[in-house]
Amino acid sequence: MAAAYVLTNTSPGKAGEARKRMAELPGVSSAHAVTGAYDIIAYIEGGDVSELGDKVVSQIQQVDGVAQTMTCVVVELP
């Protein structure tokens, strides 16, 4: 299993709706609106790192309002 945190910037006024849509995507365990340099942080899971990349590019980056993402792959799972 592989996991990652996806740090997301959104277009102005789009964070709330983008967070809701991201939270509904398969493989997204959680998505939270946050303060600071990013607007949303999501935790995603998949079979391997390649699957995580596919989820980010084909699902998360396609959500209306998502402007930019940074993926941080988890290197140690409990």
The answer to whether 67 and 10 have CB atoms below 8 angstroms apart is yes
CA count, 13 A, side-chain hemisphere, 73: 13
Query: What is the sign of the dihedral through the CA atoms of 22, 6, 43 and 38?
Result: negative
Give the integer Cα–Cα distance in Å for 14 and 30: 18
32 located within any domain? yes
Q: Is residue 11 part of a domain?
A: yes
18 within 8 A of 65, measured Cβ to Cβ: yes
Domain of 63 in residue numbering reads as 2-73
**Looking at the domain assignment, is residue 21 inside a domain?**
yes
CATH number of 35's domain: 3.30.70.920
Ordered per-residue pLDDT tens for the chain, 78 residues: 999 999 999 999 999 999 999 999 999 999 999 999 999 999 999 999 999 999 999 999 999 999 999 999 999 977
pTM attached to this predicted model: 0.95
Q: How many domains does the chain have?
A: 1
